[in-house]
Each structure stands twice: as C-alpha cells, then as structure tokens.
C-alpha cells in the first residue's frame, strides 16, 4: 500500500514569506505528526493531529501551525520565515495515535530559507 506522501519535496523561500507543506498519511491512518530535522537540533516534535484535532504540541513558536482535514491529510504552515527555519520537515502517520505503535515517515519536505 502507498506510504506517507509529502509535497513539495523541495522548496526555497525568502525571509518573511510563509510556506505550507502537505502530508497524506497511509490509508486508514488517522494520526499525523510533524517533525523538524536540522543538523544542529536533530529531530524535534512539532505537533500531532488526530481526527482533525491537535492533541499534542512541541516547543515551537506560534509561527508554526497545522491542521488536519476529514480525510486525515494534514498541512503545516510556517509564517514569517526565518533563516533558522531551514530544515527537513518530516511527517509521520500511525494507525490510531496515542501511545500505541509504529510511526511511518514520509520522505520529507526540504525547506531552504534565503
């Protein structure tokens, strides 16, 4: 079955702009989580959505936001981009969410902020 799909794969923005990234989970998975990966900070949890509700949030500023649609697809948005937002943004899906099981990751969206 198809895996987690993230679009776009690569994008370049300038400081002050905003960006929207999209994630389609594995069919039947209802939980979607987002992570930021940078060389300096490694992988850090952004937020998790389940049934269109944000259930959990990491320690990121309010410029980072997300949402989930009724078909479980999710988007994340970063407003007023800063140079430090350059990173690989990874989306992961799981069947039910909660403290249950395996996360399946997409290939990521690589954002470069100039």
Q: What is the binding site for other proteins (CB under 8 A)? A: 4, 6, 31, 33, 35, 42-45, 48, 50, 55-56, 58, 90, 92, 94, 97-99, 101-108, 110
Q: Minimum Å distance from CB 44 to other proteins? A: 8
Give the nearer residue to other proteins in terms of CB position, either 45 or 65.
45
Q: Minimum Å distance from CB 16 to other proteins? A: 27
Strands (E), 15-103: 19-24, 31-38, 42-50, 53-57, 64-68, 74-78, 87-94
94 and 102 Cβ atoms separated by less than 8 Å: yes
């Amino acid at each position: 079955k198809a895996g987690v799909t993230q679009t776009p794969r690569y994008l370049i923005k300038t400081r002050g702009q905003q960006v929207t990234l999209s994630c389609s989970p594995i069919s039947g998975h209802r939980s979607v989580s987002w992570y930021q990966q940078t060389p300096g900070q490694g992988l850090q949890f952004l937020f998790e959505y389940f049934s269109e509700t944000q259930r959990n949030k990491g320690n990121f500023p309010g410029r980072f936001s997300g949402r989930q649609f009724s078909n479980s697809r999710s988007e994340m948005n970063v407003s007023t981009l800063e140079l430090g937002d350059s990173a690989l943004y990874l989306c992961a899906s799981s069947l039910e969410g909660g403290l249950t099981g395996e996360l399946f990751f997409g290939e990521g969206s690589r954002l470069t902020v100039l």
